[in-house]
Amino acid sequence: MQTPEELALLDTIKEDAASKKLVLAACAPLTSEPPPGLETLSGDWRVEWTDLGKSFAQKLIFKLFTPSLKMLSFGALPPVKVNLTDSYNRITPTGYDLLQCFELPAPERSGGGTVGVAMALCGSGSANSEIPYRLDVQFETVVLLPATGADVDAFYAALEAAGLPSDGAKEPIKIEVKPTYIDVEHLSDALRVHKGASGTTYVLERVEDIPYVFM
């Protein structure tokens, strides 16, 4: 169950997501005290806000420009432009996955419409032995995932039509990137606030499951 301070933060994000000042002020009561240990960090999380000034919940992320999968995948995927709709994070005792979600048009031969896709950066995560509340992250692979319940044939057809490798959904693509980390500033059963290595603040809400399938 969310605390009054957590509810106030989520309300601020809902009403004033574009105001970095207001949202960070709402974070302050939560981040003023050290969080508990990282033992309860494992689980599925949905990104609700980042101080880039955009809200995933309102689909405003990257409003000023359209990112390419090549940029998001550290060069592993072709430079296909996508409009991100959501972002999720799955943490296990030893793993760390970051999903960037978007839609692709489905070819007419597959019934048309759109297909939900997530690009997942997958790797390892472990508590830093020297810095409290820091989780060290090493991304190792990239994989493309279909939305839960999606028609798999339409999913592969949409990847092909967009110029994306279907084998990127069947077999993870190895990447070589520098290690990174997150500093957890608030952690509960419901909500997490952390700061990434770039200094960007993220607010994430715990969810029961991520609506994309690791095949």
Q: Is residue 145 part of a domain?
A: yes
Does residue 12 lie within any of the structural domains?
yes
Q: What pLDDT is recorded for position 169?
A: 85
Neighbours of 166 (CB within 10 A): 14
DSSP 3-65: -HHHHHHHHHHHHHTT-HHHHHHHHHHHHSS----GGG--EEEEEEEETTTB-TTTT-TTTTS
Total tally of structural domains belonging to the chain: 1
Residue 19: inside a domain: yes
Q: Is residue 95 part of a domain?
A: yes
- Is residue 103 in some structural domain? yes
Whether 212 maps to a domain, the answer reads no
**What's the chain's length in residues?**
215
- 213, part of any domain: no
- pLDDT one-digit tens code per residue, 105-134: 988 776 778 999 999 999 999 999 999 999
What domain range is 16 assigned to?
Answer: 4-207
Tell me the per-residue pLDDT of 125-162, one tens digit each, with 9 for 90 and over.
Answer: 999 999 999 999 999 999 999 999 999 999 999 999 99
